[in-house]
Amino acid sequence: MKKTVNILLFLFCAAILQAQSLPPNAILKNYKPFATPRTNGRPGEVYRIDEKGVNFIVQDVTTIKEKISEEGDLVGRMYFTSNELLTLLNLEFDRLDVVPCEVKIAKAVREYNEQTTVDKVLYSDGKIRELVKDENSKYFIIREAILSKDVTFRFSFDTVKKIKKGANTLTEIKTAAELDFPFEIQKKFKKEKRIFYLDQEIKIDPYDN
């Protein structure tokens, strides 16, 4: 049992280091993808990650209200871990940890909340002590989210060659022009779903590093 726990801790730490080493995105800097597009996960939701790397939703703090901004179409290069794309797109990569792709988010909507609002609710009003209970977990609050009904992921030829499972779900873009990312997967939804998020770690003491 102890050996299994140690292995899980090692994998969790490796995943954190991998995420930290990702190159900067051209769009949505420091954003992460949700494991799957979803209707929950709005700015104001608090989650924790325990010592085994398991993610738990703690509470949607409804007194932290989100604001909305229409961003139009967003297009640019983003970087993901292979594990993120396995859960998000069901693509399994062979010996490729960091995956670059071009992402197009049609009619993107950004939800966000202000730092002053977060600080007031969590610290001035004392909500933080109701949320942070497990000393062995790290706690995070979702600060921003990107929603869309239509998102496309495009991959280069070299990247596609390293897909071990799921390559048949990609469509080759037919054009006379030479493209850097000629293979794509498009996801469409009837209603807007949250696809990417930006989080912030929170602690009992806001100045505790």
In a domain, 88, yes or no: yes
Number of domains forming the structure of the chain: 1
From CA 14, how far away is CA 12, in angstroms rounded? 5
Dihedral of CA 61/112/52/86: which sign?
A: positive
In a domain, 209, yes or no: no
Q: What average pLDDT is seen over the chain? A: 90
Answer whether 0.75 is exceeded by the pTM: yes
More confident residue, 18 or 107: 107
Q: What is the model's pLDDT at position 95?
A: 87
The Cβ of residue 28 has, within 10 Å, a number of other Cβ atoms equal to 22
Does the pLDDT value for residue 144 go beyond 50? yes
Tokens encoding 44? 């104001």
In a domain, 100, yes or no: yes
Q: Which domain holds residue 144?
A: 2-202
In a domain, 208, yes or no: no
Does the pLDDT value for residue 8 go beyond 60? no
pLDDT in tens, 113-130: 999 999 999 999 999 999
Residue at token pair 């932290």:
64
